[in-house]
Structure 1
Amino acid sequence: MTLVDAPEAVATYLRAKTDTDVGTIVGCFTPDAVVHDEGRDHVGTAEIRAWAEGVAAAYTLTRTVRSVRGVGAATVVAVEIAGDFPGSPVLLHHHFTLADGSLAALTICP
């Protein structure tokens, strides 16, 4: 599977992250979605917006999609992230769960 074959919400999210388009990022999620990143849950679009804005403000990042695969009902995307943070670059796995075409959950882990 490639990003072209990924569900539209996943591809849109990854493009928006690259462009730091917070409005589009938030628009990919269901109203009650959960993002789990760096040991913390961000629940609902208001918290997801704050999370996305915080990441965009804190770091200058580049993202390179390394692989995309379907795992059951989930889509797992390996993304190499490089930037102005300790340990750069890192390979992070993004586990997406969809509901009715939107992102219901995203877990980001090494």
Structure 2
Amino acid sequence: MNLPTVVTDFINAQNNFDSEASANCFSETGIMLEEGKPYTGRAAIQGVLKETNEKYQSVMKPLKYIEDGTSSVLSAEVSGTFPGSPAVLQFHFTLKNNLIDYLKVNG
């Protein structure tokens, strides 16, 4: 599977529970929707990623990637300490200047 470098970097950082490296995959004004709530900017994204990493200790296994211009969807098996683990989730990315500008995750 051929993934953009920033998506691969995000997956690796998440799988290593490195919220700082994960947040650095986002643009300065990047937005991440977590459980329907928007987090804007690297500091806010790092904070929510740290919290979810500590709470769920989830790891991602990429299954499928579809790209359409600057938008893409990664389907990944996510396993961790959350109810219903493992689950297949879709990560909807918008990339800008080789960084994540927007990310929404749903099941």
Same fold (TM over 0.5): yes
Q: What residue ranges of structure 2 are gaps of 5+ in the alignment? A: none
Q: Runs of 4+ in structure 1 displaced over 4 angstroms? A: none
Opposite residue 84 of structure 1, the aligned amino acid is T
Which residue pairs with 1:103 in the alignment?
100
Give the SS at the match of 2:85. coil
Provide the TM-score with structure 1 as the length reference. Answer: 0.89
| One-letter amino acid of the counterpart of residue 82, structure 2 | F
Alpha-carbon distance, 1:73 to partner:
2.2
Q: Per-residue deviation at 1:84?
A: 1.6
Structure 1 SS opposite 2:83: coil
Q: CA RMSD in A?
A: 1.2
Note the 1:65-104 alignment, pairs <5 A.
65-104=62-101
- Is residue 6–residue 75 contact of structure 1 (8 Å, CA) maintained in 2? no
- Return the TM-score normalized by structure 2: 0.92
In 1, are the aligned partners of 2:14 and 2:59 still within 8 Å (CA)?
Answer: no
| Bigger Cα displacement from structure 2, 62-71 vs 42-51 | 62-71
Residue among 47, 52, 57 paired with 2:54 = 57
Residue 68 of structure 1 aligns to which amino acid in structure 2?
Y
Shift of 1:6: 1.7
Letter in 1 for 2:9: T
How many residue pairs match? The answer is: 107
Correspondence for 2:17:
20
**Alignment gaps of 5+ in structure 1:** none
2:34 to 10, 18, 37: 37
Identity %: 25
Distance in 2 (CA, whole Å) between partners of 1:104 and 1:20 is: 21
